[in-house]
Amino acid sequence: MSNQSSRKVKWGIMGTGVIAEQFVADLVHTTNGEAYAVGSRREGRAEEFAEKFNLPCAYGSYEDLVHDPEVDVIYIATPHPFHQENAMNSLRAGKAVLCEKPFTVNSNELESLISTAREQRLFLMEAMWMRFLPPIVRVRQWLEEGRIGEVRLVKAEFGIMSDWDPEGRLLNPDLAGGALLDVGIYPVSFASMIFGSSPEEIWSTAHIGTTGVDEQFSLILSYGSRRSAALHGAVRLNFKNETYIYGTKGYIYLPTLHNAASATLYVDGEEAETFSDDRAGKGYSYEAEEVGSCILAGLMESPMMPWDESLGVMRLLDEVREQWKLQYPFE
C-alpha cells in the first residue's frame, strides 16, 4: 500500500439523484479522494451517471456496489427511510460510510449503525456538510476565542417553498417527509454544535399538513444558564434563512446557514469583521476531505462530527416528533 500522503480513498456512490451528482462533482476538489463507482437500483441510470462523471464502474444494485473490493467508502444519498439499511449493508460489507442527513429516521436506527461500526472498526459519519464549510469553521474559531463573550442565544432558520407534491420526498410520510428531518436538521445541528445536543428543556409547535407530515415548525431549546436556541423550519414557506449567535460582547451573523458562504463578527466597540470563502464547487469537498483524512489516519469517527453528537441530535428529533405525535407509517 502506498503511504498516506499519496494514497486516495476510492468512493462508491449509492444513489444517483441531484445531491449525489453535486457530491461527485465536488470530489475533484479534494486531495485525498476520487469517485470510483456508482450503484443504482436501475442499471441504466447507474451507467448514465458513471458516463457523466467518468467513473470506472457502474452497478445495477447497491449490493454489487458495496462488495466491490476496490471501494473504500460508500457515500449514501438515498431517501431517509433507506439510510439505516443501506449504511448497515455497507458496514457489513467492510466499507466505511458517509451517510446523508438525517443520519437515520430515528435514534434506534442510528444506535444500531454505531454499534456495528464499532464492532467492525469502520469509519462512519453523518454528512452534515455545513459543519465543514470554511465560514462555519471560522465561526467555531471565533466562539472558541471568546470573541463575543458568553454565548446566550442562537436564532437559526431554514425554510423553503417546495412544490405541492404529496408523493415527493418532502411531503410523503412513507418517505419520512416533513420539515424537521429535511431542512430542520440544519438549525438543530447548528445549535448542537454551539450548545451541545442535550438541551434541558424542549418546547415545540408544528403545522401538520394534509399529507400527515410537518410542513412548518418552531423549537425553543433551553440549555440552562440563560442559554437558549430559537429554531424554525419549513417546506411550504420561504424564510430569509438567516442565522444569529448572540453573546455578551457582540454577535455573529450568517446570511445563510446550510450553504454558508460568509460570516460576519460584530464585537462591541470594534469594526465588523467578515469572513468569506472562494470555494470551488458547491462545498461538499470539505466534508469529503475530512472523511478521507479520517480513513487514512485510521479513525472510526470524525472529531468534528462525532457519533455521540449525531445520536444526541436524533434523540432530540425523536422527542420533538413525540410532542407532535408524528410517527411515520413504517416505524
Grid cell 464502474 is found at 57
Contact present, 94 and 309 (Cβ < 8 Å):
no
The pLDDT value given to residue 2: 40
Find the helix or strand (DSSP H, E) in which 179 lies: helix 179-182
Per residue in 11-69, pLDDT (tens digit) is 999 999 999 999 999 999 999 999 999 999 988 999 999 999 999 999 999 999 999 99
Q: Does residue 4 belong to any structural domain of this protein?
A: no
The closest of 296, 270, 295, 286 to 22, measured between CA atoms, is: 286
In sequence order, what are the beta bridge partners of 232? 157, 218
C-alpha to C-alpha distances, 189 to 80, 129, 132, nearest whole angstrom? 17, 11, 13
Q: Measure the CA–CA gap between 225 and 28, rounded to whole angstroms.
A: 45
In this prediction, residues 218-243 reach a mean pLDDT of 97
Q: What is the DSSP letter of 315?
A: H
Is the pTM of the predicted complex or chain greater than 0.85? yes
Cell numbers describing residue 223: 440549555
- Catalytic residue check, 282: no
- 3-state helix, strand, coil split of the chain in percent (to 5) is 35, 25, 40
Residue 122, domain member (yes or no): yes
Q: Residue 143 pLDDT more than 90?
A: yes
- Mean pLDDT across 83-92: 98
* pLDDT of 3 over the 90 cut: no
Same domain membership, residue 234 and residue 164: yes
> Are 138 and 266 contained in the same domain?
yes
Q: Residue 38 belongs to a domain with what CATH number?
A: 3.40.50.720
Domain of 258 in residue numbering reads as 134-278+313-324
CATH code for position 167: 3.30.360.10
Do 268 and 166 reside in the same domain of the chain?
yes
Average per-residue pLDDT for the chain: 96
Domain count, the chain: 2
The Cα 234–Cα 217 span in angstroms is 6
Q: Note whether residue 307 is domain-resident.
A: no
Instruction: Give yes or no for residue 230 having a pLDDT over 60.
Output: yes
Same domain, 115 and 171: no
From 96, 130, 164, give the residue that closes a domain.
130
Task: Give percent of the chain above pLDDT 70.
Answer: 98
Question: Looking at the predicted structure, is the pLDDT value of residue 6 above 90?
Answer: no
Catalytic residue among 8, 52, 95, 101: 101
